[in-house]
Structure 1
């Protein structure tokens, strides 16, 4: 096998490795190949960055909801506005 082919991977492979790395399923060599690819490919670097942000948002969502009483107040106001027309 050519040394160049051993370390340089396509963008599709790099994205696949990035996804596997996100879920802690990538092997050591896949991580090495991914990092080498990220050195010279700005598109995959952006993909990797966005993938990391998405993972963090999913793991730790900062979602705030309204209380059921506030929701009911909003529903009543909406009904009043709709009945006015």
Structure 2
């Protein structure tokens, strides 16, 4: 068995971590990630921060602009941009 078969790079681990966050990773990818997380402090830190970010976004109560407000703001921006060209 090749060493590369189970051991993944930090970059690949970060990519799998991101995929796992959205439920897009396979069982095998999660298994390889868990092996990496068991010994790599950099990947472990990235995964922890990623989980905190996801939790914060889910808990946030963000008030977004309505379509008409966004269009009005866009028109104002374009008008000001045209003045300065």
TM over 0.5, yes or no? yes
Map residues 2-81 of structure 1 onto 2, 5 A cutoff.
2=2, 4-61=3-60
After superposition, give the CA deviation of every residue in 1:25-71 in whole Å (9 maximum; x if it has no partner).
Answer: 000000000000011100110000000000001111167xxxxxxxx
Give the TM-score normalised by structure 2: 0.68
Q: Normalised by the size of structure 1, how large is the TM-score? A: 0.68
* Superposition CA RMSD, Å: 1.3
Larger-Rg structure: 1
Where structure 2 has 5 or more consecutive residues not aligned to the other structure, the ranges are 63-85
